[in-house]
Structures are given as structure tokens and as C-alpha cells.
Amino acid sequence: MSKLVLKFENSVLREVPVGASEVSIGRSPENGLVIDNPAVSHYHARVFHEEGRLMLEDFGSLNGTFVNGQRVKMVMLKPGDSVMVGKHTIVVTESSEPGLMTWDGPARAAAPKINETVMLDTKARRDFLQQVAAGGESSQIAPARLKVATLLVRSGKTDRKEYALSDKLTVVGKSGMATVKLKGWFAPKAAVQINRREDNDYYVGAADKVPCVNGAPIAHPTKLASGDVISVAGIELEFVYRD
């Protein structure tokens, strides 16, 4: 429940609640909040609720209405705002209710809510993740695959003919890090890399060389499907899922 606290030079004169109907402010006795002072117009301004917001409207008064030091015509009020009418101050306050925020100090220009990073609250998050899991794929924990990703060497000189991919990073090349070891003087240290990413998908990416997948060179790391053929540095590897 919003309240208007009328003050004159730090003394509280009166408190007026703002209910469903508006509170009009002015010198005339018909107003909800009467301020008997020559600097205040007979019908000076009003405070009202609109779509859940507390609004202030100046009725074109002679001396104007100021909110936090700025002259206004129509503006939204927040708890803590200070409204100047003539020489009087009206402070907008909020009585404590669950769900309402309390503000200390002068109201600051808050960044729009949508730009604050927030967390989907626990129940909503769990419901969402359950929905996602029910949709066939889990977003957090990849389902254990019964099939093993394997590279079959179709041509070229390597240390083995077949490689089961178990690591998140597999290197094809001559370096100590390579799983698929290339032979030959001119073999690159790391021709290509194969990454196992989220959802247990495998991607082939260029390292020292740009590979072709099914005959076409790739522009960026490319997801592999069973049966795809990678050719690079004089070798051909077929990517398959084996049971």
C-alpha cells in the first residue's frame, strides 16, 4: 500500500494512503491532500494508480511539481521518491508487504530488469530440464552411448588400421599428442583434431591442415555422421559408430 507523507522542512505534517482511487493535491479543501500555502495551486496535481503503477500528474500548476528535483508533467513514482509541491515535500513510501522490494537511499535509475542476469528459479529450472530430457536429449548429462565412435583407416600410412575414439580430444598427426599417428618425414605435427563435444557429438576441425569431409574442404569444425570420410595429409579416415 503506497503512502504519501507530507513534510514541511523535515517535519511530518500528515500521511495519506493512496488506495484504489486517486489522491488529488492542492490548496482547495476538496483535495485529498490539502496544502494551504500560496505557492501551491488550488488544483495542483494528483497521484493515482494505473496498471499497477503509481503515477503523478501535474495539473499545469503555476509553480510546477518536481520529483527528485526534476520538474515533471506525468511520471511514475517509486517508493523513496521525493515530490516537491511549492515549499512542501511529499515522500512516497511503501508499507512492508511480502514480495515488494524495499529501497534505501535516493531512488537510482535501475537498469531494466531484463538486462540483469538472473537464474531460472529452482522449480522452473527443474521443470524445464525435465521437459528437455523428455524431448529425447538431456541438456546437462549426455545419455551414455552404446555405440563407440571409431576411425577406420581407408588409405595412407598410420600406426594402426582402426582407432576407437574415447577421449574428448583426438589428434591426427606426428606429434607426441597424436592418437592417430602419421608416418612419413613430411607428415604434419597435428594435421587435424577431432573433438567430442556436448551431447557426445564428434567434430573434426582443421589444425595444421584443412581436411576434406566427403570430398569438400571444411570452413569450420564440422559435426561427423556415421560413414563420413575425412581426407587430409595423404590419408583417408572413415568415421563410424560401432556397437
Residues that bind other proteins (CB under 8 A): 108, 111, 114-120, 122, 125, 128-129, 132, 135, 139-141, 166-169, 171, 175, 177, 189-190, 193, 195-198, 205-208, 219-221
> 174: phi > 0 → left, psi -120 to 50 → alpha, else beta; which?
alpha
Per-residue b or e along 112-137, where b marks 16 or more CB atoms closer than 10 Å to that residue's CB: eeeeeeeeeeeeeeeeeeeeeeeeee
Choice between 14 and 197, CB closer to other proteins: 197
CA dihedral 43, 49, 54, 58 (to 10 degrees): -20
Give the integer Cα–Cα distance in Å for 57 and 72.
8
Give the integer Cα–Cα distance in Å for 32 and 18.
10
Choice between 141 and 216, CB closer to other proteins: 141
Choice between 21 and 115, CB closer to other proteins: 115
Distance of closest approach, residue 37 Cβ to other proteins, in angstroms: 37
Distance of closest approach, residue 164 Cβ to other proteins, in angstroms: 11
Distance of closest approach, residue 86 Cβ to other proteins, in angstroms: 33
Distance of closest approach, residue 203 Cβ to other proteins, in angstroms: 10
Distance of closest approach, residue 61 Cβ to other proteins, in angstroms: 34
Residues contacting residue 117 through CB under 8 Å, at least 6 positions apart:
none
Cβ neighbours, 10 Å, residue 27: 19
Choice between 21 and 122, CB closer to other proteins: 122
CA 145 to chain centre: 32
Choice between 63 and 175, CB closer to other proteins: 175
Give the integer Cα–Cα distance in Å for 172 and 188.
9
Distance of closest approach, residue 111 Cβ to other proteins, in angstroms: 6
Query: Bridge-partner residues for 232, per DSSP?
Result: 235
Choice between 61 and 222, CB closer to other proteins: 222
